[in-house]
Amino acid sequence: MNWTWHQGWMDRAIALAQEAGSAGEVPVGAVVVKDGVLLAAAANRKERDRDPTAHAEILALRAAAATLNTWHLGGCTLYVTLEPCPMCAGAILHGRIERVFYGVDDPKTGALRSVINLEQTAAAFHHPEVYGGIRERACLDLIQEWFRQQRRA
């Protein structure tokens, strides 16, 4: 697997996460790629939009679906800086994303691997490939710094 290729896409997600953090959001960025082409990119906007579903992953999936004119995102890859929560994991499964690369595990709300395992035991027909730890140090530094700033505020 060409990890340099994947790191480049993750770098785009990290830049979006930095923008989100600067705007007071939890610093999470996401991009959706198909056949080497960027379909969508988004950053968390929960606070700005006052919308609990405005997670970077959901926003990027919605934009990719609009671009492709279908909610079924087979053949697409999602790059996201933080392990997806249960809501986002469900959207990833139901959107039929082929691969997910995330930067850092979320020990509090991350659920992607556990939701996929649950779906597998329930005989679900779609199981994306999942890879964690892509640009892990950069993603971890970003989220830890944001939480340090929140504690100081």
Positions marked active-site: 57
| C-alpha triplet 127, 130, 131: angle, nearest 5° | 165
| Dihedral of alpha carbons 67, 60, 6, 125, sign | negative
Token pair belonging to 141? 């530094």
> DSSP labels for 32-55?
EEETTEEEEEEE--HHHHT-TT--
* Sheet containing strand 129-132, strands side by side: 37-43, 29-34, 76-82, 99-104, 129-132
Query: Phi and psi at residue 97, in whole multiples of 5°?
Result: -60, 140
Alpha-carbon distances of 55 from 48, 84, 125, rounded to whole Å: 11, 9, 25
- Coil/strand/helix, residue 26: coil
